[in-house]
Structure 1
Amino acid sequence: MPRPRQQLPPARTVSTRQRAADDSRHSTSNDEPPAVESGEIFTQTNRADETHDNVSHHFTMLLTENRRLIFENARLQEENRQLHERNSALCSRCNDALHHNSRLIAYEVSLLPYEGTDWEEYLSHVDVVAQSNGWNEQRKAQKLASSLRGPALSILSTLSTNERTEWVPLTTALSKRFGQQNLGPKWQASLEARRQKAGESLSDLAADIEKMARLALPGWPESCKEQMGVRAFLKALADEDLKRVLAAAVPESVQDALTRAQLIEAAMNKEGCWECGQGGHARAKCPKRKQPQPQEN
């Protein structure tokens, strides 16, 4: 049997007026935003303001905390610097004390005893030893007082208890008693009368004349002391031939005169004695020549 034909539903027709209305409704919904109520808009605005205020407040707190940390860091750095300086000063003081004590224990030099002779020379010895040991004036006075012997020890009885260990009173008293500054005329007369003794070497004569010239002219320039010493050295020589040859060389100082005199004397010994003609000695030490009598100063 033939299959019956399927019945299709009738086509739905839309009128032109209805289609225009639908197009108009769709166009309106696409162009305009959906309507929102005013209460919802106010709520969204408040939320945005609250978020901005929270961010601003948080940023302000961060700036304040950062500024506080900067000041705190600066304060800690200043305290650290002060502590470092204090520590360095304490360490330096401790090192100096340890170095000073170790030097006193291991390297301290003692003063020679002083019995009241040639105070100026002994004072130079005290200065050298004190500088080597690092003594101050009080330490120097204590060491000087403990080194006095013989006549110099009686100086302590003329001073008070405090002045015995003070540098200025102690040295002033010793200078007045044993100093040679006020005895210039006495030493000048001794220097003029100084003559070479029998058997006295040229070096011993020069050393004695240098000392006498220093004591005879205290406070004078060194050039004046050297000139007077050279003149006294030439005058004190016992050998007239040596004296003439040395005077012709015009020495500038006592040491220069001593060096030249020793060279001239060595040449004379090599050539032979000008008194007896034999070698091995100079004319001043010739056994056939009458020796001058020694003079007491």
Structure 2
Amino acid sequence: MNKPELLVTPTSVEDIERLAKAGADAFVIGEQKFGLRLAGEFNRNEVKEAIEIAHRLKKKVYVAMNAIFHNDKVDELTDYLAFLHEVKPDAVVFGDPAVLMAAKEVAPNLKLQWSTETTATNWFTCNYWGRKGASRAILARELSLDSVIDTKEKTEVEIEVQIHGMTCMFQSKRMLIGNYFRYQGKNLKIEQYGMDESLYLYDPERDNRYPIFEDENGTHIMSPNDVCMIDELDELIDAEVDSLKIDGVLKSSYYLETIVALYRKAIDTYVEDEDKYFEMKDELYREVQKVQPKNRDLDTGFFFKETVY
């Protein structure tokens, strides 16, 4: 049985070594100019430093370039990819074909991972991008467990699935929050990366609170609950899904370190002794609950329910 990669999005360079020691195998980092909904902002020097630290610890680093690019940003892609070619990340995460085309020009040896978050819903599309040059497809969060397994069986590329953390429900390139406050005559300062944990959309009918933040890529509305699959990992591991991702958006370094260590224990235990995992998985879930923010319930996302668009 193959052991899947445990992937996490760190909040800063300082997280890399701690999370590696907690059990992370790989990291997704980058800057908001090029990557969507990163847990932390990494400038070029920090990207270089993070890669050096991770490689010293024999871990991998993937740099996110999966933003939505308009004409004014396209010219910047080749320069950033040339920089990445020099610092040697293990892969670049992309969604826009412009990144693929630019990479072929200036960094043809860089591995690419395809991620659109909304359209990676079938194995045929995953294979299409694989034949274009992607080594991995990052599946949409709306897929059921059965769909994930079926996709993995039929793809020619690696498959990555999110197993923990919040997911994005909506994105607009417009600064909806800032525009609303300016309309009211108020001056709301949107901080770089806009991680204001006090901003929510509230649904009184379901008593749900949807975190909302703005960054250079626009407005993002996130799920009211966090996905947690720590007690449901068996079928994903049996299906040999290549990478299991913990999303660190709006989470503290302490939280991420704790969660990574728990998933490391869960994965290792299942691979080495399935019966022992089933005996301890309820306790692992309770350990997650202990550090879970009070306003963030846990659920299994769309793994066990129908997606409604």
Same fold (TM over 0.5): no
Q: Give the strand-richer structure, 1 or 2.
A: 2
- Bigger fraction of residues in helix: 1
Look at both structures and tell me which one has the larger radius of gyration over its CA atoms. 1
Q: TM-score normalised to the size of structure 1? A: 0.21
Q: Which has the higher contact order (CA 8 A, sep 6+)?
A: 2
TM-score by length of 2: 0.20
